Amino acid sequence: MPDHPLDDALREWLPRLRRFALWLTRETSSADDLVQATLERALSRWSSRREDASLRSWLFAILYRQFLDGRRRAQRHAWLLGRLRAEEEPQAPSAEREAMAHSMLQAFGRLSAEQRSLLLWVTVEGLSYQEVAQILDVPIGTVMSRLSRARAALRRLGDGETTIVPLRVLK
Amino acid sequence: MNEPSEHDIHAYVDGRLEGERRAAVELYLARHPERAAQVQAWQHDAQQLRAALVGAQSLPPNPALDPSAIRMRRQRRRASRLAMAAALVLCVGLGGLGGWQMRGWQVARAMPPMGDALAAYRLLALDPGARPDLVPQHRGDLQAWLDHHFARGVPLPDLDAAGFRPVGGRLFATEQGTAAMVLYQDAAGHAISFYVRPPGPRRYLLPHGQRVDDGLLAQYGSGNGYNYAMVSRAAGSDAQVAARALQPLI
């Protein structure tokens, strides 16, 4: 069957989507389920895509919304079962825990899903603030204040574990 | 001097601020050491995060996530929904004819042989809005497509001599596996379909036979482990063309 031109673009983004999903779900198999659901939605919604959004922010937005929907469903389900608990982060498997021995990753893993997403988008994926605002559907000023909170939280959680060589800004 | 905006502070941390605004942030930070320490810590964290995350894990390849695999699964789901809808329409139609053949306990037994071939023909040949999965661009496209889906080999019937050319192929999902239909048309727009499927429940090998249903003729039989049907208009010479095409397969 002929290859769709979109497929190559999606393939290119696949590793980044998987990495992002992994840091949202913290678990490899649910991360891939999330990526699969994202790609299915991307393929079915391709024609109704808004032209002004970049492909990457569009894909990240789909993934993020799928994640939130899934979490809401899981919470409703938990409520129906009468086992409502505060949201618990799943235990990372041991191999991952090893990798997370790195204190930065440990601190990062303790941030909320939205804060993890924000920092991934901005510092790792290099999305523009405008793209992040589109994904979260909030004004750009809100992105900025949430980014401040996320950075402060990461600092607080990592404090005492990461050391900073104090450098004076001499300008 | 004015405190730089939150936007400019972050843009500075992320290395996205140039020119005068960058100089303004630098000037401000030089005069506000506590703010400078915070900005520097943020920069440090961002670098650490990038380094840690990019190196942290390389996920094992997962072929199920390839876009083409996902596309194929979607298509199969769609095809099975269509086939189910077609089967339902057929059941309702038969029920309306007075419960004809509804003598078995199972729906599968109640379905006359190759009812799905007729349903597929109606779906694709009689509905102008229906789209095939594959429109052949070159000779051999459809044969390659059949080879891909039917391991034991299914020779595509050649109806050229009678003026019928293959115009499209479509996959259907059955409980026993993938079924496929190739639609042929002649210059007058008459359609003949070739349908192949794995053997259905309780009719492992289909005896050679034919039946007429609402103006359509299905001729069917088995060979090489598959069930075949040619569906055409019951009237006119199309039936002989279909019969000749079916002959070498069964």
Which homologous superfamily is B64-249 in? MucB/RseB, C-terminal domain (3.30.200.100)
Cα–Cα separations (whole angstroms), residue A85 to A31, A75, A80, A91: 22, 9, 12, 16
The residue behind tokens 């893993």 is: A109
Neighbour count for residue A161 (Cβ, 10 Å): 11
Q: What's the distance, Cα to Cα, between the start and end of chain A in Å?
A: 61
pLDDT digits (tens, 9 = 90+) for A56-99: 889 999 999 999 988 887 766 655 554 434 444 444 444 544 44
Query: Residue B49 and residue A124: Cβ atoms within 8 Å?
Result: yes
Specify the amino acid at residue A107: A
The rounded distance, in Å, linking the Cα atoms of B25 and B39 is 10
CB neighbour list of residue B135: distance below 8 Å, 6 or more residues apart: B167, B168
> Are the beta carbons of B52 and A102 closer than 8 angstroms?
yes
Mutate to test the interface with A, among B34, B62, B74, B170 (most CBs of A within 10 A): B62
pLDDT score at A87: 42
pLDDT score at B203: 53
Q: Is the ipTM of this complex over 0.90?
A: no
Phi, psi of A131 (to 5 degrees): -65, -40
Chain A residues with CB-CB distance to B33 below 8 A: 168-169
Chain A residues with CB-CB distance to B66 below 8 A: 7, 11, 14
> Which residue intervals of chain B bear CATH 3.30.200.100?
64-249
pLDDT score at A102: 63
| Helix residue ranges, H only, B32-131 | 33-56, 67-96, 107-110, 115-125
**Rounded mean pLDDT, A99-104:** 59
B192 sits in which H/E element: strand B191-197
Question: A87: distance to nearest CA of chain B, Å?
Answer: 24
How confident is the prediction for chain A on average, in pLDDT?
Answer: 78
Chain B residues with CB-CB distance to A39 below 8 A: 65, 67, 70
The rounded distance, in Å, linking the Cα atoms of A66 and A113 is 13
Which of the four pLDDT bands, split at 50, 70 and 90, describes residue B202?
low
Which of the four pLDDT bands, split at 50, 70 and 90, describes residue B151?
confident
pLDDT score at A121: 93
Please give the interface size between A and B, counted as residue pairs whose CB atoms are below 8 Å apart. Answer: 125
Query: Residue B6 and residue A35: Cβ atoms within 8 Å?
Result: no
Question: A34: distance to nearest CA of chain B, Å?
Answer: 10
- List domains and CATH numbers for chain A: 5-158 (1.20.140.160)
Please indicate whether residue B110 or residue A44 has the higher confidence score (pLDDT). Answer: A44
pLDDT score at B100: 40
Query: Residue A36 and residue B46: Cβ atoms within 8 Å?
Result: no
Query: Residue B44 and residue A171: Cβ atoms within 8 Å?
Result: no
pLDDT score at A34: 92
